[in-house]
Amino acid sequence: MKRFEQRRVLVTGAGSGIGRAIVLRLLAEGATVVGMSRTGDGLTKTEQLALDQGDGDRLTVAVLDISDEAAVAHTVPAAIAGIGGLDVLVNAAGIVRMSHTHETGTELWNTVLGTNLTGSFLVTRTALPALLDSGRGVVVNISSNAASYAAPYRAAYAASKGGLEALTRVLALEYSKRNLRAVCVSPGGIETAMTYSLLDVPPDIDPGLLSKMAPAIGPLLGAPEMVAGVVAMVASDDGEFITGTTIHVDGGAHI
């Protein structure tokens, strides 16, 4: 299936986890992709995996800290120009930190929101002219079920993802008459380095509260490729009647 032939895609968070899986899936479906990540090491592995599956010639990469406004203003337009425009933007970059809410300092709060919400906004704002010029632009924001259902010890993360879902609805309506769609894909527990980082938890948490977010079906953790498949659907013409909404990929943890 080559739903993305002749389509140009930018994916943030492409150096690992869900972002990398999205890059590889869209490449496999014929897309020309720019993958971005905060550091180059992960991007090197993504490039190698793309070569291994025979799609490396349609992938370029760029190092970008999306929370750095000046860097976004320079790097994103250059990347878009390099592939001749933009049809799909996937905001997959994100970070998480755990702490008791009453012990969460403003530095931690601002760091998490600066990447997950403000960073995604900065990339989207910069990419919007090219997406609108495409005439079939799609923004896919990777949210989390923490945006809609209680995620104890992750106040900043939950707030950032809730804000990202609100931003998605704004984009979907504001640009609906210009053929732009905006959709959130909301994973639950996915087998990524970020998920495993949650094992470094405050010493006095209540693990019973965390168990309330366990899936109802399937494995305890989903695979990144499960999310990538949903992103591929909503960003393609198969998702042409989907906008301004959130699709949960969490094994029923939200039920």
> Quick check: 57 and 31 in contact, CB under 8 A?
no
* For residue 207, pLDDT beyond 80: no
Residue 153 bears catalytic tag: no
C-alpha 218/C-alpha 223 separation (Å) is: 11
Alpha helices, DSSP H only, in the chain? 17-28, 40-52, 69-82, 106-113, 120-134, 155-174, 193-196, 207-211, 224-235
From the list 149, 153, 157, 196, the catalytic residue is 157
Tens digit of each residue's pLDDT (9 = 90 or more) over 28-72: 999 999 999 999 999 999 999 999 999 999 999 999 999 999 999
- The domains of the chain, with CATH numbers, are 8-249 (3.40.50.720)
Q: What is the pTM of this model?
A: 0.95
Residue 200 reports pLDDT greater than 80: no
DSSP state of 58: G
